[in-house]
């Protein structure tokens, strides 16, 4: 069970980043659909499960396709790093009143220090971060339910797909493609330390936890209209200073875990440590831009490219199977 928990934490830790922990990503991709959000969250969770299981077993035989895939992971890692560095700085400025430039640099220093200790250090910090997040969010949710501050999104839900469901499929598709590819380098790295069956079971459990966490956070956001204009709505959902402090501390740590996941993505795509460090420095400099603007523009862009990459890999797999049958 300890090994399973370590894998689950690593998978969740790579997905739970700035957008997730601050609520901005969930609000943008799901909360806008109000009581029908549960349909889109369900679809996204299922797609994340299927894509991760598919990527785990995939063997890319074509050198051209492999190079394209590595180039995407490289671009993906750079863009996500930029957003994460920006989020860390924005969080420090908004909640601690310190210049975001200082906190962006702090994110860089801490992440490099942790990553130098290898995969085990990444796994261990994820175990701590994911545990804190699940316990804190669950407690805030139950506390709000007890105080009758929560309006459940499924109170007015009709158990049938909304009429415009297929028009809005872009949102769950982008979300699942982006986050699955974000977790891929971590899952790929875990294959050297854990058995394949353990990783597959952990991916299934992780997908269930993602579904539960998305619904809990989404319900909190829908119930508190006053926080929806904030760049970090989830962190404004709790009035208690103590629990707000835990949420903010968790957000800092969760951003770090995603930065570490992207460092692993760079290692997958680049085999030269000096080039890796140069790319990280460029990402750091670009990360001084505004968090919300970066998240919404770059997230969707990478989601679209990610969908294309997944389709390309799927077609490549099908074609290679056809050749084998012949």
- Per-residue pLDDT of 131-145, as tens digits, reads 887 888 888 778 777
Structure confidence by residue, pLDDT tens digits, 257-272: 888 888 888 888 887 8
pLDDT of residue 161: 62
Query: What's the N-to-C CA distance of the chain in angstroms?
Result: 43
Q: Which of 76, 64, 75, 113 is nearest to 312 (CA)?
A: 64
In degrees and rounded to multiples of 5, residue 58 shows phi and psi of -70, 140
- If one compares 228 and 309, the residue with the highest pLDDT of the two is 309
Domains along the sequence of the chain with CATH: 2-325 (1.20.1740.10)
**How big is the chain by its Cα radius of gyration, in Å?**
19
* pTM: predicted TM-score of the whole model, two decimal places: 0.78
pLDDT of residue 231: 64
Q: Which of 15, 13, 11 is nearest to 178 (CA)?
A: 15
pLDDT of residue 326: 38
Contacts of residue 110, defined as CB under 8 A and 6 or more positions apart, other chains included, come to 256
What whole-number percentage of the chain has pLDDT above 90? 6
| Count of positions (residues) in the chain | 326
pLDDT at 150 over 60: no
**Residue 121, both tokens:** 């250090």
Q: In degrees to the nearest 10, what's the CA dihedral of 227, 211, 16, 66?
A: -130
- If one compares 281 and 34, the residue with the highest pLDDT of the two is 281
In this prediction, residue 99 has a pLDDT band, given cuts at 50, 70 and 90, of confident
pLDDT at 85 over 70: yes
């Amino acid at each position: 069970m300890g090994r399973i928990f370590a894998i689950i934490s690593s998978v969740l830790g790579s997905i739970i980043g700035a957008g997730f922990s601050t609520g901005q990503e969930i609000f943008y991709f799901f909360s806008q659909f109000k009581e029908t959000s549960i349909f889109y969250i369900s679809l996204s969770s299922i797609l994340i499960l299927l894509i991760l299981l598919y990527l785990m077993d995939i063997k890319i035989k074509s050198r051209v396709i492999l190079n394209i895939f590595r180039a995407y992971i490289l671009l993906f890692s750079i863009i996500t790093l930029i957003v994460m560095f920006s989020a860390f700085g924005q969080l420090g400025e908004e909640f601690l009143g310190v210049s975001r430039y200082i906190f962006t640099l702090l994110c860089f220093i801490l992440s490099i220090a942790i990553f130098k200790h290898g995969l085990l250090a990444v796994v261990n910090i994820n175990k701590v971060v994911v545990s804190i997040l699940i316990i804190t969010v669950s407690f805030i949710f139950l506390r709000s339910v007890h105080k009758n501050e929560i309006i459940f999104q499924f109170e007015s839900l009709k158990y049938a797909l909304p009429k415009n469901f297929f028009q809005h499929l872009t949102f769950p598709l982008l979300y699942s493609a982006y986050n699955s590819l974000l977790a891929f380098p971590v899952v790929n790295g875990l294959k050297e330390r854990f058995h394949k069956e353990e990783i597959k079971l952990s991916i299934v459990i992780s997908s269930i936890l993602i579904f539960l966490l998305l619904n809990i956070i989404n319900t909190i956001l829908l119930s508190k209209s006053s926080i929806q204009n904030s760049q970090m709505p989830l962190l404004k959902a709790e009035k208690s200073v103590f629990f707000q402090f835990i949420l903010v501390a968790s957000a800092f740590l969760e951003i770090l875990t995603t930065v570490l996941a992207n460092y692993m993505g760079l290692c997958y795509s680049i085999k030269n440590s000096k080039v890796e460090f140069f790319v990280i420095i460029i990402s750091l400099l670009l990360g001084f831009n505004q968090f919300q603007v970066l998240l919404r523009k770059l997230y969707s862009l990478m989601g679209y490219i990610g969908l294309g990459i997944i389709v390309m890999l799927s077609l490549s797999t099908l074609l290679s199977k056809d050749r084998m049958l012949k």
